[in-house]
Amino acid sequence: MNSMYPKAGRVILHVDMNSFYASVEMAYDPTLKGKPIAIAGNPEERRGIIVTCSYEARRFGVKTTMPLWEAKKLCPQLIILRPNFERYRAASIGMFEVLNHYSDLVEPVSIDEGYMDITASDQFGTPIEVASIIQNRIKEQLDLPCSIGIAPNKFLAKMASDMKKPLGITILRKRDVPSKLWPLPVKEMHGVGQKTSEKLESMRIYTIGDLAKADTFMIKSSLGINGERLKDRANGIDSRPVDPEAAEEFKSIGNSTTLPRDMSKQKELFEVLNQLAFKVSTRLKRKKVYATGISVMIRYKNRHTITRSKKIGFAIQSVEEIYNQAQHLFMKHWSGDAVRLLGITGTDLVEKGQAVKQLDLFHYEEDAKKEPLYQTIESLRKKYGQSIVDQAASLESIQKKKANIGTSTSFNKDFLQRLKKEKE
């Protein structure tokens, strides 16, 4: 299997969900499958704009950003739906959990697409086998289609994923660039917007091949450092690593655990949730961030998995707050059947200085009790420096970790361990 992976270099996947919002709606309501549907901000307004649409709608000429009246004229039977962002957020979390199963290096770039570095994932098969497994798993687990590009770098992987939609898998090697990329119009190149394409065309650069062969000084003088970068991309050159921390707004901290036995007793499940809340809280504190959203994953005895999330009106970090939010979400969506796996994820993280807590009566009363403690902490910081208390909190977290408190693991590690057990 190692022979299918480069000795020097990387194997990058770009996973791009197909018609994401519309696909999520069809997964949620199967009666919509096969029908032309569109997501629009305000269906009642003739001036509304199409946010996205299904492939069935696209066959009639309906496109993203098209005015609603024009879309209905092209497709009178078009079904218009309002966007449900909580539903899309939950589906996105589920999708990225699948990706994290196969690599620790996953970089979200938007709610419906991300890069993966699978160079060290050869235990799951060849690159195309890994891509196929991921595509099938997302389809089976979430009922959502995706296209995947396989390449030695991020740019080529992104270009490859656009070549076959829906449900395509495309390999794009550097040696394929002259034959597959260079004939394409420069405006179809990832990273080239309308204004940039107009500038390039004014320099008689009409194709990606023209850009690849263009004079570097001329490109740089017109587009600056971005021009030189685009020329490199046109030649298949891109050294950017897959960075899980690159997209701050999509960072999340989560923990899950496969239960020692299938559980259906509420009290036992609450105890597991509390252990998970402790682990998530510890990691949030260690990274000095707060969560403004919570996601709960439930896998049942029959392996059916659901992920549900909610936005919170304030930033949270404590075990109690995380547990309360997760417990409420769990009880709202738990079917009562035996549970095989539980997970909690803190989402939409914010830095310590950005966290603003909205104090209701309960929080005000609790915080008032802690005010003398806060004053003492502030005095210590003034005397010994801002990091004095943070260092103590981090040390406590490390000590607890060494003591192996709780049975949960991170989402990434848990997924990998479970897959290995299933393969044995």
215 a known binding residue? no
DSSP 341-403: EEEEEEEEEEEGGG------HHHHHHHHHHHHHHHHHHHHHHHH-TTHHHHHHHHHHHHHHHT
Per-residue confidence (pLDDT) for residue 258, from 0 to 100: 84
Q: What is the pLDDT of residue 28?
A: 93
Confidence of residue 8 (pLDDT cuts 50, 70, 90): confident
What tokens appear for 419 in the block?
């897959």
What is the pLDDT confidence band of residue 312, given thresholds at 50, 70 and 90? Answer: confident
Statement: residue 46 has pLDDT above 90: no
Higher-confidence position of 70 and 406: 70
Confidence at residue 47, expressed as pLDDT on a 0 to 100 scale: 54
Q: What is the mean pLDDT of residues 251-260?
A: 83
Q: Name the DSSP letter for residue 242.
A: P
Nearest Cα residue to 102 out of 347, 411, 358: 411
pLDDT at 358: 40
pLDDT at 354: 57
- Cβ atoms of residues 309 and 294 within 8 Å: yes
**Residue 14: pLDDT over 90:** yes
| pLDDT score for 387 | 47
The pTM score is 0.61
Give CA angle at 294 (292, 297), nearest 5°: 160
113 given a catalytic annotation? yes
Looking at residue 247, its pLDDT comes to 55
Residue 189: alpha-carbon gap to chain centroid: 23
Q: What's the CA gap between 114 and 135, in Å, rounded? A: 13
Burial 280-290 (b: 16+ CB within 10 A, else e): bbbbbbbeebb
What mean pLDDT, rounded, does the chain reach? 83
Q: How confident is the model at residue 356 (pLDDT cuts 50, 70, 90)?
A: very low
How confident is the model at residue 1, as a pLDDT?
56
Of the residues 25, 97, 113, 321, only one is catalytic, namely 113
- Domains recognised in the chain with CATH numbers: 1-172 (3.30.70.270), 176-234 (1.10.150.20), 251-423 (3.30.1490.100)
Comparing 45 with 281, the larger pLDDT belongs to 281
Residue 43: pLDDT band (50, 70, 90) is: low
C-alpha closest to that of 342 among 333, 332, 331, 330: 330
For residue 377, which amino acid is it?
A: I
The β-bridge partners of 344 are: 255, 296
Is-contact 250 209, C-beta < 8 A?
no
Please give the helix or strand (H or E) that residue 264 lies within, else none. Answer: none
Q: From CA 211, how far away is CA 223, in angstroms rounded?
A: 12
pLDDT of 167 over the 50 cut? yes
- Look at residue 282 and tell me whether its pLDDT is greater than 80: yes
User: For the residues 331-356, what does the mean pLDDT come to?
Assistant: 84
Residue 405, pLDDT > 60, answer no
* Predicted confidence (pLDDT) at residue 335 exceeds the cutoff of 90: yes
**Cβ within 8 Å of residue 127, ≥6 positions away:** 4, 5, 11, 13, 118, 150, 171
Model confidence at 359, pLDDT cuts 50, 70, 90, reads very low
Q: Which is more confidently placed, 306 or 147?
A: 147
Worst-scoring range by mean pLDDT, 110-114, 178-182, 380-384?
380-384
Residue 232 assigned ligand-binding role: no
Q: What is the pLDDT of residues 318-334, one digit of tens each?
A: 999 999 999 999 999 99
Model confidence pLDDT, tens digit, residues 216-232: 999 988 888 889 999 99
